[in-house]
Structure 1
Amino acid sequence: MFTGLIEEIGSLKKVHRQGEAMVLTIEGPHVLKDAAIGDSISVNGVCLTVTELQSASIFTVDVMPQTFRHTNLKNIRPGEKVNLERAMQAGGRFGGHIVQGHVDGTGEVLSRENNANAVVFTIRLHDASLMRYIIPQGSVTLDGISLTVVNAGETSFSVSIIPHTLRETALQLKQAGSEINVECDVLGKYVDHLLHFKGAGSGEGNGGPSAPAKSGITAAFLAENGFF
């Protein structure tokens, strides 16, 4: 689990690609200060496992086909900057929001506009069905950065970036047309799943099939109990 507070801008040193499988070599001395093989590090919002420590500042990670197909890592090139964050410690401050490092899809930066001391990014989701999880004043993760949604339309939404966040993350390099990883708020995804789940329960005795189980949670139930 991560918080979406980027610890370091890393640099991609090498990419080894074989079909939809990849090995990335990344430089990031800060996130390696207490790292070990097997640890999780978020790279542009993607939870990846450290497979090799080449030095005190360089590590490697594997990217499997599922991750290749659903994130912007498939288009990454040596020399590019990436957002890095170590998995959160149980006793640490929770400054962002719950980030799993499980990217739901990608989006395209439609515009980048100055607004006083902030910069407003407008993002169009490649999978418009994800917009049901994008809620004004709710949380969203872009390339691993915990951000607040300013407004949301049918296929796009906007976030407002303070100077510190822009300066301390690779978001500073994104322009109109850039691809970006999007992870929606996990709480919304769980509620949506529970409301629409139509899976089957376990069979009687011998493990055989049984009738589909129905969830007791409905929109009316949530409204009656103050969730809406």
Structure 2
Amino acid sequence: MENNNEKPKFTERELEFVEEGREMPSGEHMLRYLGLSWDDLRDKVVVDLGAAEASLAKEAEKRGIHGVVSIDKNDYGQAIRERKNYVRGELENIPLKDNSIDLFLSSHVFSLRADEETKNVLLESSRVMKDGSKMLIWPAILGYPQMKEVEEKKFAEELEKELQELVSNTYDVHLKRSPIAKGEYFYADYFWELTRKSKETPAGAVINI
């Protein structure tokens, strides 16, 4: 039987970024990895998809930023569930209104693959995203120990093309290098940036997603 309360574990490569006693990266580190600052969250509605203990929202509130909505399918305790902007929900069925989100962030939740499950998650996310908004995904699988760096790079570039084909009507997909990358392990230094395309064509016809 699946244990939905099991908390994420870190690879050895990630441990250097984690504060003692934490089981997920801090909100501060998550933003730095994705090339963002706290000012990028101000006056915006931001989703932290797979928020776990809602560290991003809690750290944001200390800085006067109250627009972070935490979403997770797991139960991380009553104190977390009672937070105003904490929503329990599935990646494939996000309980938010259409066209309501300015920025989507996701850290260590899922690994992008060119398959039907990934497509369903991305299309559901696109429903609640505003035109031109971005989804930044720090993938759950950050490296492949059996692959050399050149093989990882080729793998990532091929996946980028496959993902673009998978959701070509909905997103522009790009593999981005983290500004705090150390260059020690190719895939651990990269994240995915997806930009939501307009839901209407220049002629006004609705795109079928």
Query: What interval of TM-score do these two structures reach, taking the shorter chain for normalisation?
Result: under 0.3
Q: TM-score, structure 2 length as denominator?
A: 0.28
Which structure is higher in strand share? 1
Indicate the structure (1 or 2) with the bigger Cα radius of gyration.
1
Q: TM-score, structure 1 length as denominator?
A: 0.26
- Higher RCO (CA 8 Å, separation ≥ 6 residues): 1
Which structure is higher in helix share? 2
